Amino acid sequence: MSSAHTGTGQTAGYQFKHPRGVIHGWFSSEGLYSLELPTAEKEHAPHVKVLHSSINDGRVRNLHAALERYFSGQPESFENIPLDFGTCTAFRFRVWTALREISWGHTATYGELSERLGYGTRASRAVGQALHHNPLPIVVPCHRILAHNGLGGFGAGLDWKRELLCLEGVDV
């Protein structure tokens, strides 16, 4: 689900304890560039040299508070979290940016997102591929995108997708 970050500068690591396991996040000097949800396949986060990881870092504090609100069932947009999409393609950037406009408790289909981007439904599969490579699940809410006939996929697994949608009050 995550893509390689090729930016330079210091990296700050972050961990958020969730009942399913530890959610790992990493910040570059530009912003949050990776957030990994725990899965059965990934017992440990990738080894990244962490130069500092401190709740004294304002970005870490903001992310922690936003995740606390989110997982307690309070609508959260994560708009105060600076993001770093690194060297992603222009298409992925457009898709990920459009995802952030789908608010808490709302969903769209791959085709609807493609239409919002001005491609009609012809780019639905490409939209799905961009979602598959989303390095920031929850913050860039790819879980809110559904297939026209059901849940569709989710990099961390459909159990996570169901949990996130239920948390937001979406009937799955």
As a whole number of angstroms, the distance between CA 45 and CA 26 comes to: 11
Question: In this model, does residue 16 exceed pLDDT 50?
Answer: yes
Mean pLDDT over the full length of the chain: 86
Catalytic residue numbers read 142
Query: Beta 32-36 vs 108-109: how paired, if at all?
Result: unpaired
pLDDT in tens, 50-85: 334 554 578 888 999 999 999 999 999 999 999 999
Residue 121 pLDDT greater than 60, yes or no: yes
Q: What DSSP character marks residue 144?
A: G
User: In this model, does residue 12 exceed pLDDT 80?
Assistant: no
| Residue matched to tokens 């947009």 | 77
- Cβ contact 152:128 at 8 Å: yes
Range from 11-15, 40-44, 82-86, 92-96 carrying the lowest mean pLDDT: 40-44
Task: Summarize pLDDT for 84-115 with one digit per residue, the tens.
Answer: 999 899 999 999 999 999 999 999 999 999 99
- What number is the average pLDDT over the span 119-146? 95
Which residue is associated with the tokens 């948390």? 167
Q: What is the pLDDT of residue 143?
A: 97
Residue 57 Cα distances to 19, 31, 54, 123, angstroms = 24, 12, 5, 39
Strands in 28-137 per DSSP E: 32-36, 108-109
Nearest to 79 by CA among 89, 65, 93, 90: 65
CATH architecture assignment, domain 90-167: Orthogonal Bundle (1.10)
Other beta carbons within 10 Å of 24: 20
